[in-house]
Amino acid sequence: MQVQDYPRQEFTLGDYLADLRSEGLVSGTVSWEATSEALPVQHVSYDSRQLSKNTFFICKGNNFKRQYLLDAIEQGAIAYLAEKDLEVDLPGIIVSDLRRALTLCTQRFFEWPQRSLSIIGITGTKGKSTTVTCLREIFDVWLAEQKLPPAGFISSIEEFDGFTSEESVLTTPEPLELFTILRNCVTAGIDHVILESSSQGLKYGRLDDINFSYGSIVNIAEDHISDIEHKDFEDYKAAKLAMIDHSEKLLVNLDVEYSDLMLEKAAEKQVKVITLSTREGLAADYRAENIRSRADGLVFDVKSLRTPERNIKDLFVSLHGLFNTENALIAIAIALESGVDETSIRRALSQVSVPGRMMLFPTDDGAMLGLVDYAHNKLSFEALFQWLHRDYPNHKYIAIFGSTGDKAVNRRPELGVAAGENADLVYLTSDDVGYEPFDSINADMTPYLDSYGVAWTADPVRENCIRDAFAKAIRLYQETGEQSVVMALGKGDESSIYKDGIYEPINSDVTVMKHLVETYNAALK
């Protein structure tokens, strides 16, 4: 996103140096002259391909090359920030922690926009995108009734800054992109921002100095373990728990694993806790009771132990899967605590839809149910199959999925086991393979499918897999009367695949599945 015009204060290189020194980050300066501190900084950037004059250039990235700095100098860089002397004729500030320094410099450049916003932060292993989407829908309905601007939104699905909406690349953007969005939100007159945080965003300090009015860790399970993400589960768990450090109030689901640890950490940090539960008989500030699954979504009662006037009866939520009750309940509790009225909550959740999450496409003759979901790890696979066994028993389960390349290698055997235990047929396909060969990724999953005797085939083109699975399901119904669930998992509504450093455009799983089902249904008439 591009930053919108706003009355900008001009800072000097000395201002940035003072910030860095105040946190003890400065190891030294190089090529420094008496006039260096007075240099006006009009831009901050870490992309040597897109630079303007008077840019303070940040030498960011594990694969950073000195040539990038030389290119930046040609484009108008007046100073640089790095963790070592790059031996150029340009004033440089050398720091011990570039990531922290980057966040500090970016905040100053955009004049600390987070201080003018009420930001809600959500993290977790699964369900965070659904939770933030529910929150956004609720707040947007509520704010519209007051004739106020809608909420800013930062998620793995979409970014909205009050001016433009774009498909996300990272769940939590890098600091320069993140603070561009927050600054634009302030410029647009937005008061509320809903932010989905990844473990990487928390671990690498992209959210440093951002305080959440409400924060929640939806759940924690082992994920994102690799050489370039988290070295082990303890590192991943610590990153998720860092959400507590940023939160004024913390929503804790007592039903999930590690809820006791969340409560313990919150007590240490003196963070106010609001508890939730969907379990019968478990005391919590907000409870979901009398939960019912319907063809068009979920219905349940919301009971507030602290404030009975906030009770809501027979609340309809247009989401599928009983597990989504927990996600919706977090959003409801935050909304009620924020003063949102029941009418707004009902209106919003009756029409909520999360792109690429638990989207159902049934054929009119009942032959097949197409399902598109972002499920991509053990926890989400298990929750999905549990729901299918409950709501769609006696169906054949045809699963289409892959695993990411270069990272999250721990997922692969777990996905293989989960699919092996539950699926009748598997199509292995591409899911952001990165620089890793497609066959290499699959080789970490196929032994587990084989051990469970599950038939599988592999094709890197996702659309081919969906089309073939759909055709198989229809033939099966025509020949035997057996019904199938064809599930395209892992990519949701994403319209690109990351491969060899490039995002290649694709028809999203939603687009393909919807077209196939609509075409089939039209032919039935």
Chain segment 69-98, per-residue pLDDT in tens: 999 999 999 999 999 999 999 999 999 999
* The pLDDT value given to residue 307: 82
Q: Provide the pLDDT confidence category of residue 56 given band limits of 50, 70 and 90.
A: very high
Distance spanning both ends of the chain, measured CA to CA: 45
Phi, psi of 329 (to 5 degrees): -65, -40
Is the per-residue pLDDT at 444 higher than 70? yes
- Of residues 239 and 515, which shows the higher confidence score? 515
Q: Provide the pLDDT confidence category of residue 53 given band limits of 50, 70 and 90.
A: confident
* The pLDDT value given to residue 357: 87
Which of 1-5, 162-166, 197-201 is predicted most confidently? 162-166
* The pLDDT value given to residue 437: 94
Instruction: State both tokens at 138.
Output: 């609720």
* The pLDDT value given to residue 224: 66
* The pLDDT value given to residue 228: 66
Q: What angle do CA 520, 401, 404 make, to 5 degrees?
A: 140
Is the per-residue pLDDT at 379 higher than 90? no
Q: Is residue 245 classed as helix, strand or coil in its secondary structure?
A: helix
Distances (CA, A) of 180 to 69, 132, 203, 209, 471: 23, 20, 20, 15, 46
What is the average pLDDT across 26-53? 91
- Of residues 230 and 69, which shows the higher confidence score? 69
Is the per-residue pLDDT at 2 higher than 70? yes
What is the average pLDDT across 162-180? 90
Instruction: State both tokens at 500.
Output: 């060899």
Beta bridge partners of 373: 489
Distances (CA, A) of 284 to 142, 162, 261, 299, 300: 26, 36, 16, 19, 16
Exposure b/e, 478-496, CB count within 10 A at least 16 = b: eeeeebbbbbbbbbbbbbe
Distance CA 21, CA 19 (A): 5
What is the average pLDDT across 355-369? 92
Beta bridge partners of 252: 275
* The pLDDT value given to residue 365: 95
User: Where in 261-330 does DSSP place strands (E)?
Assistant: 272-277, 286-294, 297-304, 312-317
Of the candidates 339, 267, 347, 338, the residue with the CA atom closest to the CA atom of residue 315: 347
Is the per-residue pLDDT at 485 higher than 90? yes
Could you tell me whether strands 312-317 and 297-304 are parallel, antiparallel, or unpaired per DSSP bridges? antiparallel
Distances (CA, A) of 104 to 89, 209, 247: 25, 9, 19
Q: Provide the pLDDT confidence category of residue 236 given band limits of 50, 70 and 90.
A: confident
Of the candidates 68, 56, 143, the residue with the CA atom closest to the CA atom of residue 104: 56
The rounded mean pLDDT for the chain is 93
- Residue 251, number of CB atoms within 10 A of its CB: 26
Question: Do 345 and 118 meet the contact criterion of CB atoms below 8 Å apart?
Answer: no
* The pLDDT value given to residue 199: 85
What is the tens place of the pLDDT at every residue in 202-223?
888 889 889 999 999 998 887 6
- In single-letter form, the type of residue at position 374 comes to Y
What is the average pLDDT across 504-509? 94
Phi, psi of 326 (to 5 degrees): -65, -45
Query: Which domains are seen in the chain, by residue range?
Result: 11-109 (3.40.1390.10), 113-349 (3.40.1190.10), 359-520 (3.90.190.20)
Helix axes 342-349, 324-337, angle to 10 degrees: 150
Write the CB contacts of 443 (distance below 8 Å, at least 6 apart in sequence). none
Is the per-residue pLDDT at 29 higher than 80? yes
Q: Provide the pLDDT confidence category of residue 406 given band limits of 50, 70 and 90.
A: confident
Question: Do 440 and 403 meet the contact criterion of CB atoms below 8 Å apart?
Answer: no
- Segment (H or E) for 45: strand 43-45
Is the per-residue pLDDT at 226 higher than 80? no
- Segment (H or E) for 201: helix 199-203
- Of residues 265 and 410, which shows the higher confidence score? 265
- Of residues 378 and 486, which shows the higher confidence score? 486
* The pLDDT value given to residue 421: 95
Q: What angle do CA 524, 355, 301 make, to 5 degrees?
A: 95
